[in-house]
Structure 1
Amino acid sequence: MSTFEIRPIRSDDDAAMAAVIRTVMPEFGATGSGFAISDPEVDWMSRAYAAPRHAYFVVERDGRVLGGAGVAPLAGGDADVCELRKMYFLPEARGSGAGAAMMARCLDAARASGFTRCYLETLTGMDAAMRLYERSGFRRIDTAMGATGHGGCNRFYLLDL
C-alpha cells in the first residue's frame, strides 16, 4: 500500500466520508436507528466538526478518502470527557497502520482541546477495532456514558488522556 495522509476534513470530503460510513456500517450489521448510519450529521461532517472542541480527520491515499475519525464533547457527559466518533475505514485501509495513526491524531486533538478522558462505543463483531482501542490504552467499561443516541452499541471503552 502506498502511503496515506491524515488531514482535517474539508467540505469537499463530506460525500466521500458519508459513503465510507454507509459502506462500512452494514458490514458489521450496524443498520437502522441507534447507529451512525442514520445520524443526519453523516452527510455534513465538515460542518458538524467545525464547532469548538470538535475535530474530524480523514485518511486519504492517492486523492481518495478511505476513512476517518473524530472527537467531540461527549453529549450529556462531563465537560472533561470527549467521545471518539465515527471511526470507519474501507477494507483497503485496514491493516495499513492508518487506524493507529488516526487514533494518535484524534487523541492529540482531544488533549489540545483540554479533554482529560476519551470515551467510545462500538459493537460486538468489530474485533479489529476493539484490539486497536485496547492497544491504544482504552479500557473496557460496563455501561454507557453520556447520551450519544447510539442505542445499538453494546461495547464501551474509556481512556485517561
Structure 2
Amino acid sequence: MTSSALTVEAADPADFARIAELTVGVYTGEHLAEPGYVPQLADVAGRADRAELLVARDGSGTVVGSVALVLAGDFGEVTESADEAAFRMLVVDRSQRGRGIGEALVRACLDRARAAGKHRVVLSTDPRMTAAHRLYERLGFTRLPERDWTPVPGVDLRVYSLDL
C-alpha cells in the first residue's frame, strides 16, 4: 500500500530494533503498559514467530509505525475461531500522528486477512486508547463487549470486531 510517500509492507529483521523502540516508547510514554508487559512489547523477534509484522515507512524509508497481524495461533488472544484474524500492538511514532499511518496499517491488516480467507478481524484495546477507538469505529469496527477481558488484574481490555 502506498499513500503520500507512505508505504506499508512486511517488516524485515533489520526493522526489529526500530519496532521495539517505537512500541516500548509509545506504550510506556503514554502510560499504556504495566512494567511487566514491557519485555513482551520489546520482543519483536518473538512476535515475528507468531504474527506477520507490518511496518509503515515514510518517504525516506524510516519506520514510522508497526502492527502485528495474527492469522492463526494463540497470539491472537481474542480470536475464537479459524475464521478470525486479529491485530495487536498497533503503534505510530508520536511525532508522525495525524498523517493516516494508523489507518494505513489497519487497512493493510484487513486486506491481508481477507486474502487469507478470514471472515472477521478482532482486536483488544485499552479503554484509554481513545484515538485508536475513533479510528476503529471510523473503519467500521464495532464493540464486542461480551468478549472484553482482563489479561492481568487491573488491566481491562475492550474488544472490537469487523466482519469482512
TM-score, normalization: structure 2? 0.81
Measured at CA, do residues 90 and 55 of structure 1 come closer, stay the same or move farther in structure 2, by a change above 3 Å? same
Who is 1:70 aligned against?
Answer: 68
Q: Per the alignment, do residues 46 and 123 of structure 1 end up closer, same or farther by CA in structure 2, a change over 3 Å counting?
A: closer
Shift of 1:46: 7.0
Q: In 2, distance between residues paired with 1:83 and 1:58?
A: 16
Moved over 6 A (4+): none
Over 3 Å counting, the alpha-carbon distance change for 1:84 and 1:137 in structure 2 is same
- 1:118 aligned onto 2:116: no
Provide the TM-score with structure 1 as the length reference.
0.82
Q: Among the aligned pairs, what percent are the same residue?
A: 29
2:98 to 86, 95, 100: 95
Q: Does the 8 Å contact 2:150/2:157 carry over to 1? A: no
1:1-161 equivalences in 2 (<5 Å): 3-32=5-34, 35=37, 37-39=38-40, 42-44=43-45, 47-49=48-50, 54-61=51-58, 62-72=60-70, 73=72, 74-75=76-77, 77-144=80-147, 149=151, 152-161=155-164
> How far apart are residue 98 of structure 1 and its match?
1.3
TM-fit CA distance, 1:85: 1.4
Secondary structure in structure 1 of the residue aligned to 2:147: coil
* Count of aligned positions: 154
Q: What is the CA RMSD across the aligned residues, in angstroms? A: 2.6
Gaps of 5+ in 2: none
1:58 is displaced (CA, Å) by: 0.4
1:154 Cα deviation after fit = 2.0
Following superposition, the deviation at residue 82 of structure 1 comes to 1.1
